[in-house]
């Protein structure tokens, strides 16, 4: 982050970043994000990957969509979910790498 980025002085932006961290602090939502980091999936595939019911997955996807972390596309009768953009993918990949490095240091 550059010196001229004054996140600390921008309350609205600070609250948006805080909301993203809060949303990702939920284990189910993080599992969904990590699954979608590997590939696009529909709700049924996410059910299998995360091990929760369709209604639980759908509820968490709504929260992730609201924060623009995931988006979807209807293909035929199936809705396919993906990470919303490369920023989300980069953030998740960076956090995973950081966590792996921390494990190696312990």
Q: Does residue 71 lie within any of the structural domains?
A: yes
> Residue 86 burial by CB count (10 A; 0-12/13-18/19+): exposed, middle or buried?
exposed
Q: Does residue 24 lie within any of the structural domains?
A: yes
The helix/strand count (H/E) of the chain reads as: 5, 3
Q: Does residue 85 lie within any of the structural domains?
A: yes
**Full residue range of the structural domain in which residue 69 is found:** 9-105
Which helix (H) or strand (E) segment holds residue 41: the answer is: strand 41-42
Q: What is the pLDDT along the chain (106 residues), one digit of tens a residue?
A: 444 567 778 889 889 999 999 999 999 999 999 999 999 999 999 999 999 999 999 999 999 999 999 999 999 999 999 999 999 999 999 999 999 987 788 7
Task: Note the pTM of the prediction, 2 decimals.
Answer: 0.85
Rounded to whole angstroms, the maximal C-alpha distance in the chain is 48
Give pLDDT, residue 3: 44
Give pLDDT, residue 5: 64
Q: Does residue 92 lie within any of the structural domains?
A: yes
Give pLDDT, residue 104: 81
Six-digit token pair at 3? 């010196």
CA 45 to chain centre: 16
Domain count, the chain: 1
CATH number at residue 96: 1.10.10.10
Q: Does residue 40 lie within any of the structural domains?
A: yes
Q: Does residue 4 lie within any of the structural domains?
A: no
Q: Does residue 3 lie within any of the structural domains?
A: no
Q: Does residue 89 lie within any of the structural domains?
A: yes
Six-digit token pair at 25? 């602090």
């Amino acid at each position: 982050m550059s010196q001229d980025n004054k996140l600390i002085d921008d309350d609205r932006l600070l609250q948006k970043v805080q909301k993203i961290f809060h949303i990702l602090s939920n284990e189910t939502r993080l599992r969904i994000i990590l699954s979608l980091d590997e590939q696009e999936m529909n709700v049924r595939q996410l059910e299998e990957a995360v091990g929760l019911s369709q209604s639980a997955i759908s509820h968490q996807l709504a929260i992730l969509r609201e924060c623009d972390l995931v988006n979807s596309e209807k293909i035929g009768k199936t809705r396919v979910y993906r990470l919303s953009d490369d920023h989300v993918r980069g953030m998740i990949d960076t956090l995973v790498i950081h966590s792996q490095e921390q494990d190696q240091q312990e």
